[in-house]
Amino acid sequence: MTAPPPAFRCAGIYTAAGGPFDLAAAPGQCLTIMGPSGVGKSLLLRALADLDPHRGDVFLGAQQQSLVAPHRWRQQVVYVPAAAGWWAETVAEHFSDFKVLADDLHALGLPVDCGTWPVARLSSGERQRLSLVRAVALGSPVLLLDEPTSNLDAESALATEAWLLARRQAGVTLIWVTHDAAQALRVADVRLVLEHGGLHEAAHG
């Protein structure tokens, strides 16, 4: 019998922008984080992924971030920036098996043959959607999404929201930074607001 995905939480996290920040997410939950520009939303996600120095600790089930090798932690807790990096010439070279992704590409409005395209050909919106596909293909239990639809038109954004939310059926936890209050209402199980005084649940409505 397959073990259930682990819960994800952080306790007393301090980043360069402040703290303490605490959050907890059950497997398959989507938590959104909103707050003014510059308050430290991206810094918090980067701390959760162990990409930046921070105080406090993060837990994935019984695993404690500070006791796990950083590269192994990031295989399980994947940070997806709004503008992800690309290091090879063509799209498919960034994937272990691009051929199995046809359904995902179709759901996101991307042509199946885009694997043969040079990365330089991609628009910002195509890069953003493909970086999400790349992250999901890793099969990680936690995705840290930093403005994942910021470069998309309204129709593409809604399709991407639906595709991301479908990952929850497999128990994937989504921690989703957004500036769009309407989006937060659509996608979140729990809506959080990050302010200089900490992280708290948004008012209902």
Cα–Cα distance for residue pair 52/40, rounded to 1 Å: 12
Q: Does the residue 34 lie in any domain?
A: yes
**According to the model, what pLDDT value does residue 111 have?**
96
Cβ atoms of residues 146 and 169 within 8 Å: no
Yes or no: say if 112 and 135 are a contact pair by the CB < 8 Å rule: no
Q: Specify the DSSP element, H or E, that contains 127.
A: helix 124-136
Single-letter amino acid code for the residue at 46: R
What does the H/E/C string look like for 24-89? Answer: EECCCCEEEEECCCCCCHHHHHHHHCCCCCCEEEEEECCEEHHHCCHHHHHHHEEEECCCCCCCCC
Number of separate domains in the chain = 1
pLDDT score, position 120: 96
Whether 1 is in a domain gets the answer no
Q: Starting at the edge strand that comes first in sequence, how are the strands of the sheet with 30-34 ordered? A: 77-80, 142-146, 173-177, 30-34, 190-195, 198-201
Tell me the CATH number at 134.
Answer: 3.40.50.300
Q: Distance between CA atoms of 193 and 51, rounded to whole angstroms?
A: 22
pLDDT of residue 110: 97
Tell whether 61 is covered by a domain: yes
Is residue 2, in this structure, part of any structural domain at all? no
pLDDT of the residue at 6: 81
3-state class (DSSP) for residue 147 = coil
pLDDT at residue 205 in the model: 60
Structure tokens at 12: 């007393």
For the entire predicted model, the pTM comes to: 0.94
**Res 102: pLDDT:** 96
pLDDT, one tens digit for every residue, the chain (205 residues): 566 678 999 989 999 989 999 999 999 999 999 999 889 999 999 999 999 999 999 999 999 999 999 999 999 999 999 999 999 999 999 999 999 999 999 999 999 999 999 999 999 999 999 999 999 999 999 999 999 999 999 999 999 999 999 999 889 999 999 999 999 999 999 999 998 768 989 877 6
Determine the angle formed by the axes of helices 154-166 and 124-136, rounding to 10 degrees.
Answer: 0
The residue range of the domain holding 172 is 8-201
CA distances from 201 to 23, 51, 63 (A): 10, 25, 25
- Predicted pLDDT of residue 87: 96
- Can you give the pLDDT at residue 197? 67
